[in-house]
Amino acid sequence: MSDKKALKRDTIATHAGRDPQRYGGLVNTPVFRGSTVLFPDVKTYEGRDPDDYKVIRYGIYGTPTTFALEEAVAELEGGHAAVALPSGLAAIVAALAAFAHTGAHLLVTDSVYWPTRNFCYRRLRALGVAIEYYDPAIGADIGRLIRPETTAVFCESPGSLTFDMQDIPAIAAVAHAKGVAVLADTTWGTPYFFRPFEHGVDISIHAGTKYIAGQWDVLMGIVVTNDQHWLRLRRAVADYGYCVSPDDCYLALRGLRTIGVRLRQQQQNAIAIARWLQARPEVLRVIYPALEGDPGHAIWKRDFSGAASLFGVVLKPASDRAVAALIDSLRLFGIGSSWGGFESLAIRTDPGKHRSATRWNPGGPLLRLHIGLEDPDDLIADLEQGLARLRQTG
Ligand SMILES: *Cc1c(COP(=O)(O)O)cnc(C)c1O
């Protein structure tokens, strides 16, 4: 295909990272397993380019199966290149490590995924990296926090559990003017609903475990970068020795093929359920940027083409016991943390306790719902009996 830029995302998700005629006409790039790679002669062996990550030279740098997944995600998201990692957290670790050295200063959103904060606190700080948390709503004021030794601004929009939207283009404009890179955890946005490189992100980080794989049988991280930061990031991944199994790459790519239909349906189900919850007397508010009236709605509408099916529900004050009774009574919602698969989930969360730069108090118990591919009528009926249980438990 000559003009890939003109293709729409569903077409890219269907065709990217495939070359059937190369593999005997097979539609999917097969699982290629391999560690050592044999070279035809000494000259070729000794002439290997350590910075060419697109040729097969040792299993740790990938096989055609790995490259197929990486190419497909990079193309869908509109980035220069991608690298697969063994988990979403490993992807975050590698991306942060690429910008961390003793004396460096990193700016991290206060709404960040908790394990990212933990890595900064327990690991980066011990290496002499200064970590400063900033208000996710900071926008262009990020400039006031940038120091000569600042190497990167880490964003996550919407934020984990609190769903605050960040004005990434405003942050990026200021950061770039000062030579600072913008890293973003774009797991919620997915390569399908958010085009990070059009909004100033330099390095986009995904938990491929979530909607990319989409079936709850793979752990995967994927980092996509622009041209400028590719080698810096790819070398960091290589230096840490990260690699992923070709079987997992195969499964993640199989999931990616259907990301469009899954996400559109899950979004539709999630919006229906979020609106139904908004009208319930037991609910204080629903935190979901896709809803009109949400504080992040304007930014979401400007920067995203759709919404993941993950949102927060603030209940009116109720006892811990009553909230647990609600969740325990649900028959169709699993109790579990990792989202992005086909089944609905419900958990209770308390993100306020992890904030340090800002306060976050929702005014009542907070639930996080992930909406799957079940019929939304069945999910609503289940939630309705759950809310009755909440009232009865008192
Ligand atoms: C789940 C998640 C991750 C980590 O992904 P794992 O594959 O579970 O390590 C990173 N960022 C966000 C926002 C997540 O929700």
CA dist 134 to 171, 193, 194, 289, 377, Å?
Answer: 12, 25, 23, 20, 40
Is the distance from the beta carbon of residue 207 to the nearest atom of ligand 1 less than 6 Å? yes
Distance CA 77, CA 5 (A): 11
Neighbours of 125 (CB within 10 A): 12
Ligand 1 centroid–CA 305 distance in Å is 21
Cβ atoms < 10 Å from Cβ of 293: 9
Domain coordinates in residue numbering, the chain:
4-256, 259-393
**Atom 7, ligand 1: which residue's CA is nearest?**
88
CATH architecture of 4-256: 3-Layer(aba) Sandwich (3.40)
CA of 218 to the centre of ligand 1 (A): 12
What does R_g of the chain's alpha carbons equal in angstroms? 22
CATH number for 259-393 (one of 3.40.50.800, 3.30.70.980, 3.10.20.30, 3.90.1150.10): it is 3.90.1150.10
Three-state secondary structure call for residue 23: helix
Backbone torsions φ then ψ of 219, nearest 5 degrees = -105, 130
Per-residue model confidence (pLDDT) at position 4: 55
Selected residue with higher pLDDT from 355 and 4: 355
Residue 6, token pair as written in the block: 């003109």
Give, using CA atoms, the residue closest to atom 5 of ligand 1: 88
Those residues whose C-beta lies under 8 Å from the C-beta of residue 308, and which sit 6 or more positions away, are 188, 189, 190, 193, 211, 263, 266, 267, 270, 339, 340
Verify whether ligand 1 is closer than 6 Å to residue 119 (CB atom). no
Average pLDDT for 27-46: 96
In the reported structure, the alpha carbon of residue 352 is separated from the centroid of ligand 1 by a whole-number distance in angstroms of 19
Buried b (16+ CB within 10 A) or exposed e, 207-241: bbbbbbbbebebbbbbbbbbeebbeebbebbbeee
Whether residue 113 has its Cβ less than 6 Å from ligand 1: yes
Q: Which of 92, 116, 163, 210 maximizes ligand 1 atoms within 8 Å of its Cβ, making it the mutation to test the pocket?
A: 210
Q: What percent of the chain has pLDDT over 90?
A: 97
| Nearest residue (CA) to ligand 1, atom 6 | 88
Would the CB of 230 count as within 6 Å of ligand 1?
A: no
Q: What is the pTM of this model?
A: 0.97
Ligand 1 within 6 A of CB of 190: no
* pLDDT > 50? residue 56: yes
87, 209, 218: which to mutate for ligand 1, most atoms within 8 A of CB? 209
Ligand 1 centroid, distance to 338 Cα (angstroms): 7
Ligand 1 touching residue 91 (CB < 6 A): no
Reported as a single tens digit per residue, the pLDDT across 145-168 is 999 999 999 999 999 999 999 999
Position 242 pLDDT exceeds 50 = yes
Mutate to test the pocket of ligand 1, among 92, 109, 112, 113 (most ligand atoms within 8 A of CB): 113
Q: What one-character DSSP code corresponds to residue 50?
A: T
**Which tens digit of pLDDT belongs to each residue from 376-387?**
999 999 999 999
Model pLDDT for residues 165-219, shown as the tens digit of each residue: 999 999 999 999 999 999 999 999 999 999 999 999 999 999 999 999 999 999 9
> 6: pLDDT confidence band, cut at 50, 70 and 90?
confident
Q: What pLDDT is recorded for position 336?
A: 96
160 Cβ inside 6 Å of ligand 1: yes
Percent of the chain residues topping a pLDDT of 70: 99
**DSSP letter (8 states) at residue 100:** -
> How much is the pLDDT for 27?
96
User: In the 3-class helix/strand/coil scheme, how is 159-174 assigned residue by residue?
Assistant: CCCCCCCCCHHHHHHH
- The per-residue pLDDT for 139 is 98
Residue 1 has a pLDDT of 45
> Cβ(88) to ligand 1 under 6 A?
yes
Using CA atoms, how far residue 13 sits from 195, 214, 315, in Å, is: 14, 14, 38
Q: What local confidence, expressed as pLDDT, does residue 394 receive?
A: 74
Pairing of strands 283-287, 310-315: antiparallel
